[in-house]
A and B are shown apart, each in its own frame.
Chain A
Amino acid sequence: MTQLVVENLRKQFATRAGPLTVLDGVDLSLPSGESVAILGPSGSGKSTLLHIVGTLDTPTAGTVRLGDTDPFALGEKGMAEFRNRSIGFVFQEHYLLPELSVLENVLIPVLATQTIAAEQRDWAMELIERVGLADRADHRPGELSGGERGRVAIARSLVCKPMLLLADEPTGNLDPRTAASVMELLLKLQTQTGTMLIVVTHSEAVASLLDRRMYLEEGRLVEDRQTAVDG
């Protein structure tokens, strides 16, 4: 079974006052189809962990392995392909390209490595339908609400059928109702596609929707007792 294994992950930043250790031996194992919420106070390193796992940042030490692949052993080309093929991102800011339509925004990751075939276009449309924006496929991001943009971002994150979905405060800018619907959609799609999901959030409510909850404390991940018991 494909799984994400993070072992003894360390991350330090150079500052004027000296090196600052943000992650100090993080271990995490996530089997396929499972979701985990990572909680912690601001500055605890949640997003840093997510970015390292998503290969947007590099660790100071430790390993990240997704299935059989150690992405940090790949070159620039291999890592970009790995990210494209295996990882889907949902950011708080959504980062939609304003000049493109909803459909085109969803399809954008496909264009990174190949030309767009009808099959992929159909899949993108299906995702758009699943996020409930079938009638807005030709709309530009500027014509969408915050929640709708979030949905587009979710559809985009899944278009390449990734093994691992990473969401950084996906509902941070949304009102509770919209946030709940976006999270619901995310989990539904995760379940349908069988991907692993890591969500970084401050929200206990959001975290409660996921299979596991983990806290980042003093640079280490700590399993929430409740989920451990539940698990």
Chain B
Amino acid sequence: MTWWTLVIRSLQYHLRSHLVVMAGVAVSTAVLVGALLVGDTVRLSLTELTQERLGRIDRLLLAEHFFRDRCVGHLRERFTEHVADVAPAIVMTQAALSEAGSRRKVGRVTVLASGTDFWKLRAAGTPQPKKLPGDFEIVINQTLAEALGVSAGDTVTLRLPFGESIPSDSPFGEKQDLVKSMPELEVIEVMPDRGFGRFELFPSQRTPRIAFVSPAGLRDALEIDGGWNAVFLAGTAETTIATQDELPAAMRLDLVDVGIRVERVRLEDPTSADDPKPAVYDYWALSSDRMLIRSAVDRAVRNAVGARGLPVLTYLANQIQRVGDGSAGGRAVPYSLVIAIELGRSFPLKDLAGKVIRPLDDDGIVLTHWLADELKAEVGDRLELTYFDPESPSGKLVERRATFTVRAVTPLTPPARPYLPDRQLVFDQRPTLANDPHLTPAVRGFTDQGSIEEWDVPFPVDYERVQEADEEYWRQYATTPKAFVAPSRGRELWGSRFGRTTSWRIDVTAADSADQLAAAIRKHLDWSQLGVVVHDLRARQMEASKGTTPFGVLFLSLSMFVIVAALLLVALLFQLSILRRVPSIGLLASVGFRRWRLLQWFLREELLVAFDGSVLGVLAGVAYARWIVWLLTTVWVGAISVPFLRFHATATSLATGFLAGLSICAATLILTVRGVLKRPPLELLRGRIDRVSSGKVRGRLWWSASVVCWIGAAVAAVYAATSGGMAQAGAFVGAGFLLLAGCLAAFWSWLHGRPFRVEPLLGKSPLWRWAIRSMSRHPRRSMLTIGLMGASSFLVVAMGAFQMRPSEEGTGGFEWMGESSTPIYADWDVELRSVLGASMKSEGATVFPFRLREGDMAACTNLYRPSQPRVIGVGAPFIRAMEKRSVGFQWGTLPSDRRYGDHPWSVLESGAAGDGEPISVVLDRNTAMYSLQLYGGVGEEFELEYDGRPIRFRVAGLLADTVWQGMLLVGERDFRKMFPEESGYRFFLVDVPEGVARKAKQGLEERFADEGLEFEPTRDVLAELLAVQNTYLQTFQALGAIGLLLGTFGLAVVQLRNVLERTRELALLQAVGFRRRRLAGVVFRENTVLLTVGLGVGTVCALVAILPYQVASGSDLPLVRWLGLLAGIWGLGLLAGLAAVLAVLRLPLLSSLRNE
């Protein structure tokens, strides 16, 4: 005989109780494995989705400007060395699609125009169109087809956001008609939402709306000759060439590909007899098709040419007039181009006396002779310039004024024939430096027009001011400037976030050719700052697919109650199993077995049981995980927004779950058996393993502990009464929990020393009194049961307090929120008046526009980890309005600066202290904590990368459960600084009287259909965001109910064990005349008391905790659901208790008196 013989014999003999323990172990392991597999499933589903969506694409080069076809050719040549694939495309986000002939339309459509190269990159087995769309055809994905309600054969119109090169926020930028259309497109195929059918730049588990069109058709619509704005790269993951630094070079991107022109400007002196004739001016002119040159280009030019380059800023003065005495014979001259340039050696402008004019101070201005004549101005006169503010963020042009003092007058030679941009300047007299129309960059609709009357410009032209002399000047001199100011003053007045230079005047000696100059400048260019950004799509999206929420851990936490309940059940079952063997253990101890030897024996035996249980648990865990995944795709879909999950299981999770289950259960078993083995052999021989170790002293101690808990509960309740929101709910639940802890401590105290009597509460029924007293027979068991039942019923009920419903504070009192595909510049008061009528407008309908930088949705509805969250630019009108509104957004944590105490939104107005200083950001605390993992609260700084540039933020305030979840809110000033290229407003909040809400929505959507404006009710948006949290709570409650169910089984086990231990006592009672049914009644009462006390204490404490909050928040209590659940558990508990009753009825009681 060996130890293993003992183990095997014991396993065989105690098979039934081992099977029950094994089942308990299996439940624990199953829950562990299940939770880990749910984590696997979410993570791998996201990864799978990402891989399927990206196919072989590794990187994407996306440019704001269309680059030439040849760049793709260069890239291909370069990449053949690296065995990589290149697919050029035109990618446009935020398009809108409408069905021809109907009012239906949908926005937020991503348009992809590409050739077969692109489709070669798709993942194996994913669909591609049967035929690539022709010029008047379109392929759309299923989601888009369903959203629009169209199918193959239908005709649709695609509206594309195509802004002018000149930023819309500047006076020369277009603010209307920023949409180009592709009408009458036939839907030739509806693609499944798989592979490229769900391609998107910003990862989300939601299916995007995708449309595929032909590149040629798209270019026609955009009125461009050729080129692409995107290149997809595959097989480049390992190549360094496809990086932000290298890729533009590999493509040989040139200045022209980002809209920058370099040309030589030379004007000869026609009066010279020399051959060649000497030049009046001869320089390289560098200008941009967006009129203002980006500061990144300025830096590059400065670095490339140094002092040989002269920055020029040209601006249009709406009017110039003398200050004070307008009647001195002069007039106000309209629409004059004024140049800010450094006079002196590089630009030796001369006065009428032929003397070089000295560099100007900020107050100085030099007039051309023509302008001085018109104004009748002389040196020393004061002039007033009227001009439009260089930035018109709200779309409204603001006219400003500035005064100057005339320092000099410079001659201007009349040309021999009128100048037009496509013609050479012709003079028959010696021209001057001022005779240079090229100092003004080309602006379509303005500089290319033959007369002022023909200007096609986005700002209003007051033709009444224009006189024949002005028209004549334009005909003769066109864009030739009329005045010159100091560059510092020019930048101060007309510089903007779009740039502070309109052209560079570079000495001709700086380069031999335009190409050479461009090459020199290219060397210093940071392409990302010119809108050429390489997106490491695969790396970024794969990283994002790791998700913000570790679902494995989440479900482990949610399932913790089930796990603990299962472990307690394992402990109880094992104790029950070991109870029968206590005398045998006592015998072994008495014959000289050391504790360690006995522990070894039980360890071997129980490890085998735990091992088998864990193996079973792994199998059950797979089934459990499948069940949870099914629930997540059906009943609990709110937690993941869309049912995209496919079950996945990794060997790691299976092994981890198995080992964790095995270890935890083995530890539980060891702890249990260790507790038994610690008993003296004599006690074991007598079969006593659960005794109260001390009496009244411990009872009084626990009674004191319960009083402390109740005092704590009272303090928490007082705190709760003085706080608000979720803090209030949390404090109330904390108070309830302390109340429960106090009750349990009091119960424990009662079990030990009975410092108070409860029997009178139960009347005179001796059986009930007996049942009550029986609870203190095995206090630990009774406590365990009541604790488990109490805690689980508390959690199930109390968690209901955290169920959230959309509130006024969550929506800020706004009815609708909306987005448009393209920026909208509108006078919303006018628009609302036209939609609702003047009287309705007076009732307080308001639209607040916001700037929007597209990005990842950083809300809990997006399972992907956001790296570039959407940014909202909050303007002053909204901030002012929030100061006055009776209903505002709920703040979780207000700005720490007391200055903003009464008006917290004002914190966004202060702006960053300086360059490189963090930008103040307000965000919802859920976004901060769950999506961005910012736990530091107000004051925490963090960095995000946009367009290849790191931007630092500082949390200025946290909102609480609002519709702003998923977005970063910054002040509009900061927004413009961060994203100078983002013009206009694309995000809107609408506050309208309830009665006309729908009318306003429909009216505005129709009015801005071309811009793709769509509204959603704020309550729906908030409800969807809150659904995630609510679903988790439901999940927690459901799993808590499972824990409760296990608790009822535990109760049955306790009862059964009590019965087995008391066999002799019961037999004796039968011997003295008790009928079996009466004895069964006692046992049943004991069970009922434990069950009712456990459930009752938990439920009452939970209700005490949450009722005040529910009443305060005006929420409805799901009383019926709770009562139904608790009644169900109570009923099940009673049924489980019947097992003990049946045991009493079946036990051979009297024979136990005879037997040993």
A113 to B594, CA, bound (A): 8
A72 CB to nearest B CB, Å: 13
Binary interface encoding of chain A residues 97-124 relative to chain B, with 1 for a CB under 8 A from any of its CBs, else 0: 1111001100111011101100000000
Query: Which residues of B lie under 8 Å from residue A113 when comparing CB positions?
Result: 592
State whether the Cβ of B152 lies closer than 8 Å to any Cβ in chain A.
no
A80 contacts B6, C-beta separation under 8 Å:
no
- Residue in B9, B592, B695 whose beta carbon sits within 8 Å of that of A80 in the complex: B592
State whether the Cβ of B1 lies closer than 8 Å to any Cβ in chain A.
yes
Binary interface encoding of chain A residues 76-104 relative to chain B, with 1 for a CB under 8 A from any of its CBs, else 0: 11001111110001010111011110011
State whether the Cβ of B652 lies closer than 8 Å to any Cβ in chain A.
no
State whether the Cβ of B455 lies closer than 8 Å to any Cβ in chain A.
no
- Residue in A81, A82, A98, A116 whose beta carbon sits within 8 Å of that of B1 in the complex: A116
A110 CB to nearest B CB, Å: 9
State whether the Cβ of B13 lies closer than 8 Å to any Cβ in chain A.
yes
Binary interface encoding of chain B residues 1-23 relative to chain A, with 1 for a CB under 8 A from any of its CBs, else 0: 11101100110111000000000
A100 to B584, CA, bound (A): 11
From 181 to 228 in chain A, residues with beta carbon under 8 angstroms from any chain B beta carbon are: none
User: Nearest CB to that of A146 among chain B residues?
Assistant: B1156
B2 contacts A97, C-beta separation under 8 Å:
no
State whether the Cβ of B32 lies closer than 8 Å to any Cβ in chain A.
no
B267 CB to nearest A CB, Å: 111
Pairs A–B under 8 Å by Cβ, sample size 25: A56-B680, A76-B594, A80-B593, A80-B594, A82-B592, A83-B590, A85-B592, A91-B587, A94-B1156, A95-B583, A95-B685, A98-B13, A98-B584, A99-B9, A99-B14, A104-B5, A111-B1, A111-B3, A112-B591, A113-B592, A115-B2, A146-B1156, A156-B591, A160-B591, A160-B592
Query: Which residues of A lie under 8 Å from residue B949 when comparing CB positions?
Result: none
A56 contacts B591, C-beta separation under 8 Å:
no
A85 to B592, CA, bound (A): 8
B680 contacts A57, C-beta separation under 8 Å:
yes
State whether the Cβ of A54 lies closer than 8 Å to any Cβ in chain B.
yes
Query: Which residues of A lie under 8 Å from residue B465 when comparing CB positions?
Result: none
From 563 to 601 in chain B, residues with beta carbon under 8 angstroms from any chain A beta carbon are: 583-584, 586-595, 597
Binary interface encoding of chain A residues 155-195 relative to chain B, with 1 for a CB under 8 A from any of its CBs, else 0: 01000100000000000010000000000000000000000
A89 contacts B591, C-beta separation under 8 Å:
yes
From 19 to 59 in chain A, residues with beta carbon under 8 angstroms from any chain B beta carbon are: 51, 54, 56-57
Given contacts A95-B584, A116-B1, 4 further A-B contacts (CB under 8 A): A83-B592, A91-B685, A93-B583, A98-B13
A57 to B684, CA, bound (A): 12
User: Nearest CB to that of B581 among chain A residues?
Assistant: A97
State whether the Cβ of B681 lies closer than 8 Å to any Cβ in chain A.
yes
A108 to B590, CA, bound (A): 11
Chain A interface, number of residues (Cβ within 8 angstroms)? 36
B593 contacts A104, C-beta separation under 8 Å:
no
B6 contacts A111, C-beta separation under 8 Å:
yes
Binary interface encoding of chain B residues 677-694 relative to chain A, with 1 for a CB under 8 A from any of its CBs, else 0: 000111001000000000
Query: Which residues of A lie under 8 Å from residue B594 when comparing CB positions?
Result: 76-77, 80-81, 112
A104 to B8, CA, bound (A): 13
User: Nearest CB to that of A156 among chain B residues?
Assistant: B591
Chain B interface, number of residues (Cβ within 8 angstroms)? 29
A46 CB to nearest B CB, Å: 14
Residues in A lying within 8 Å of B, measured CB to CB: 16, 51, 54, 56-57, 76-77, 80-85, 89, 91, 93-95, 97-100, 103-104, 107-109, 111-113, 115-116, 146, 156, 160, 173
- Residue in A93, A99, A112, A156 whose beta carbon sits within 8 Å of that of B597 in the complex: A112
Interface of B is mostly: helix
Among B5, B588, B685, B1156, the one with the most A-chain Cβ atoms within 10 Å of its Cβ is B1156
B230 CB to nearest A CB, Å: 76
Query: Which residues of A lie under 8 Å from residue B9 when comparing CB positions?
Result: 99-100, 104
Binary interface encoding of chain B residues 106-128 relative to chain A, with 1 for a CB under 8 A from any of its CBs, else 0: 00000000000000000000000
Query: Which residues of B lie under 8 Å from residue A77 when comparing CB positions?
Result: 594
User: Nearest CB to that of A149 among chain B residues?
Assistant: B1156
A108 to B681, CA, bound (A): 16
A173 to B595, CA, bound (A): 30
B682 contacts A57, C-beta separation under 8 Å:
yes
Binary interface encoding of chain B residues 157-168 relative to chain A, with 1 for a CB under 8 A from any of its CBs, else 0: 000000000000
Query: Which residues of A lie under 8 Å from residue B1 when comparing CB positions?
Result: 103-104, 107, 111, 116
Query: Which residues of A lie under 8 Å from residue B593 when comparing CB positions?
Result: 80, 84, 111-112
B685 contacts A108, C-beta separation under 8 Å:
no
B584 contacts A112, C-beta separation under 8 Å:
no
B682 contacts A83, C-beta separation under 8 Å:
no
A96 CB to nearest B CB, Å: 8
B854 CB to nearest A CB, Å: 72
- Residue in A80, A82, A112, A173 whose beta carbon sits within 8 Å of that of B1156 in the complex: A173
User: Nearest CB to that of A98 among chain B residues?
Assistant: B13
Among B2, B10, B591, B1156, the one with the most A-chain Cβ atoms within 10 Å of its Cβ is B591
Query: Which residues of B lie under 8 Å from residue A56 when comparing CB positions?
Result: 590, 680-682, 685
User: Nearest CB to that of A88 among chain B residues?
Assistant: B591
A112 contacts B2, C-beta separation under 8 Å:
no
A57 CB to nearest B CB, Å: 6
B691 CB to nearest A CB, Å: 13
A26 CB to nearest B CB, Å: 18
B591 contacts A108, C-beta separation under 8 Å:
yes
B8 CB to nearest A CB, Å: 9
Take A16-B695, A57-B680, A80-B593 as given contacts and tell me if A99 and B588 are in contact as well, using a CB distance cutoff of 8 Å: no
A104 to B973, CA, bound (A): 89
User: Nearest CB to that of A16 among chain B residues?
Assistant: B695
Take A56-B680, A111-B1, A111-B6 as given contacts and tell me if A84 and B13 are in contact as well, using a CB distance cutoff of 8 Å: no
From 583 to 641 in chain B, residues with beta carbon under 8 angstroms from any chain A beta carbon are: 583-584, 586-595, 597
B592 contacts A109, C-beta separation under 8 Å:
yes
A79 to B398, CA, bound (A): 100
A73 CB to nearest B CB, Å: 17
A95 to B680, CA, bound (A): 16
A202 CB to nearest B CB, Å: 17
Among A77, A81, A93, A111, the one with the most B-chain Cβ atoms within 10 Å of its Cβ is A111
A116 to B5, CA, bound (A): 12
B587 CB to nearest A CB, Å: 4
Query: Which residues of A lie under 8 Å from residue B595 when comparing CB positions?
Result: 76
Query: Which residues of A lie under 8 Å from residue B13 when comparing CB positions?
Result: 98-99
B695 CB to nearest A CB, Å: 7
A51 CB to nearest B CB, Å: 6
User: Nearest CB to that of A105 among chain B residues?
Assistant: B587
B682 contacts A51, C-beta separation under 8 Å:
yes
A84 contacts B14, C-beta separation under 8 Å:
no
User: Nearest CB to that of B13 among chain A residues?
Assistant: A99
A76 to B680, CA, bound (A): 11
